[in-house]
Every structure is written in structure tokens, then in C-alpha cells.
């Protein structure tokens, strides 16, 4: 049986919530860190890279509880979200909509690529592409094409994760060769359809909403189930949403989000185990 773990985007609090949930599940005897395939989008690409590097889940969870000294302050405000929605609602197909978001990202004033890269390098601590299959999603900022990086892409894991985490209008697009890339969440907050073919799929989705022509998580999950795949989806419950707050890029919310994910695992452990076992 092949099992896939799909880790969605959700900012710095999404990273923390996912680690809390993974640690809580493991503490209840449902260890999903041995997935055959890991799909990471944005925040999920950070968690996926760390998980596949072999760092113990509990250790990664506890790291979320420490003061976030290395993080750059940022805000995913209403203005940025409105610009995303405007770009996606202007008609045309999904690729063109993503290209409009990419154009907005290329024109935005953001911190430098170097400063952002340093933050991600500290998170990954020299991690390299793992032997296990890891897929990291991004979008070409100029063309709007959806890109999936893996160990055979000829791209470093740090660059791939950096591209996947390049939130348009907040963080700078990441330069890889002659191209620049933005957040894989521009195509889908989760990209669960990349797990097609697995027998069992666990989706951790800090964010489930989309805009414009973005494929919806519900449709992706329905397609997986129609193909015979067992799927469990976990998104933040009320307590987790309260802990995460309105700004998913607020490092001060990181520890609370991690603790909320840990607590939520109690309620979903049986659901996950039924799919994963």
C-alpha cells in the first residue's frame, strides 16, 4: 500500500500547526512520518522538507515553541488578498490568472531575496533532497505555469522551498536560473491532486479557501476518492483558528498555533488512523 502526506500552505502559523498536529498524532500512535510520498505547498514545503530530512517530529514541534528570533516580520493583509482576488477574477483561464498574480508579485516592494533566503536556510539547516519522494510546488511568475520540483529537477531543495514559500506581494519571487517563481499556493492552497495514485492520503490543510479559477480542495479530494483512494482531510478547528489568528505570517502566533495543532490531534487521531492503517 502506498501512502501520501499532503501538506498545505498557511504561513508561519501553518508550519507550526502542522508540526503540532503531526506530533500529536504520533503521540497517539498514528505516526505518518513514514509516508511514501510527501507533497508540500508553501508552508507545507518547509514541513515536508524538514520531515523528510529525518528530524524527529517531536523535536520539530518543540522548535515551534521557541522565540522566533530569525523570522522577518510580515503581514498578509486585506490589501494583498484583494489584489490576489482581483487578479483571479478578471476572466481568462487559470494560467493567465496566475500570471497576473505573478506580475503583481514581480512589481511589489518586498524584502530582498537574500534576506528571505537566509531565513529559510536557517529553517532547513542544510537539508538536501531526500531519498523519499518529495514534491514541492511553485508557479512561474511570468508565465503562470504550475511547476513541481523534485530531486530530479536540478534545483536545490532550498531554492525549491523558497519558491514555494514566495507569497506574492509579501516575499520576493525566487530566482532559479533565468526564471522567477512564486508560491505554489497561487495554483492551489493544497495541491492534493498530486497525490493521485496513492492508496491512502492524509491532507493537512491550514488554509482551504481559494479564489478565481483555483482548483478547490473539495474537488481534488472528490477526484481522489472517486479513483478509490482513502482520504482524510484535517483543517484547523475553532480553537486552532483562534490560536492562528488573522495574520498567518505573524511569528508571535507560532507557539500558540503549534500547541493548538497538538491538542487537535486528539479529536482526529481515529479518523486519520482509519485511513492510514
pLDDT tens profile 203-242: 999 998 876 678 899 999 999 999 999 999 999 999 999 9
- Amino acid 93: pLDDT: 86
Q: How distant, in Å, are the alpha carbons of 60, 62, 178, 187 from that of 203?
A: 19, 22, 33, 16
Catalytic residue among 42, 53, 164, 188: 42
**Residue 190 placed within a domain:** yes
Is-catalytic flag, 235? no
Q: Is the dihedral of CA 214, 32, 61, 173 positive or negative?
A: negative
Is-catalytic flag, 183? yes
**Residue 241 placed within a domain:** yes
**Residue 88 placed within a domain:** no
**Residue 103 placed within a domain:** no
Number of independent structural domains in the chain:
1
φ, ψ for residue 138 (rounded to 5)?
Answer: -160, 175
**Residue 212 placed within a domain:** yes
Catalytic residue among 140, 159, 183, 250: 183
**Residue 117 placed within a domain:** yes
pLDDT in tens, 78-128: 667 677 666 666 666 889 989 999 999 999 899 999 999 999 998 898 889
**Residue 229 placed within a domain:** yes
Stated pTM of the model: 0.95
- Amino acid 209: pLDDT: 80
Residue ranges making up the domain that contains 162: 3-72+110-276
**Residue 91 placed within a domain:** no
Amino acid at each position: 500500500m502506498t501512502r501520501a502526506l499532503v501538506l498545505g500552505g498557511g504561513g508561519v502559523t501553518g508550519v507550526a500547526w502542522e508540526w503540532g498536529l503531526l506530533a500529536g498524532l504520533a503521540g497517539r500512535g498514528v505516526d505518518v512520518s513514514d509516508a511514501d510520498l510527501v507533497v508540500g505547498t508553501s508552508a507545507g514545503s518547509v514541513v515536508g522538507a524538514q520531515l523528510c530530512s529525518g528530524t524527529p517530529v517531536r523535536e520539530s514541534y518543540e522548535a515551534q515553541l521557541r522565540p522566533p528570533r530569525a523570522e522577518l516580520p510580515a503581514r498578509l493583509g486585506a490589501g494583498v488578498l484583494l489584489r490576489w482576488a482581483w487578479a483571479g477574477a478578471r476572466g481568462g483561464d487559470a494560467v493567465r490568472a496566475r500570471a497576473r498574480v505573478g506580475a503583481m508579485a514581480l512589481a511589489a516592494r518586498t524584502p530582498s531575496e537574500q534576506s528571505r533566503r537566509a531565513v529559510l536556510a536557517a529553517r532547513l539547516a542544510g537539508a538536501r533532497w531526500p531519498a523519499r519522494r518529495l514534491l514541492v510546488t511553485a508557479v512561474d511568475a511570468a508565465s503562470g505555469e504550475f511547476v513541481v520540483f523534485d530531486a530530479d529537477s536540478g534545483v536545490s531543495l532550498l531554492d525549491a522551498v523558497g519558491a514555494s514559500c514566495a507569497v506574492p506581494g509579501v516575499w520576493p519571487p525566487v530566482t532559479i536560473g533565468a526564471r522567477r517563481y512564486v508560491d505554489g499556493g497561487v495554483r492551489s492552497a493544497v495541491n492534493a491532486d498530486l497525490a493521485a495514485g496513492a492508496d491512502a492520503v492524509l491532507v493537512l490543510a491550514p488554509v482551504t479557501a481559494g479564489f478565481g479559477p483555483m482548483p478547490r480542495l473539495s474537488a481534488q479530494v472528490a477526484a481522489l476518492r472517486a479513483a478509490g483512494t482513502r482520504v482524510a482531510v484535517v483543517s484547523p478547528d475553532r480553537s486552532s483558528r483562534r490560536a492562528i489568528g488573522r495574520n498567518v505570517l505573524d511569528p508571535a502566533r507560532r507557539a500558540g498555533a503549534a500547541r493548538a495543532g497538538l491538542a487537535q490531534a486528539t479529536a482526529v487521531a481515529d479518523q486519520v488512523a482509519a485511513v492510514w492503517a
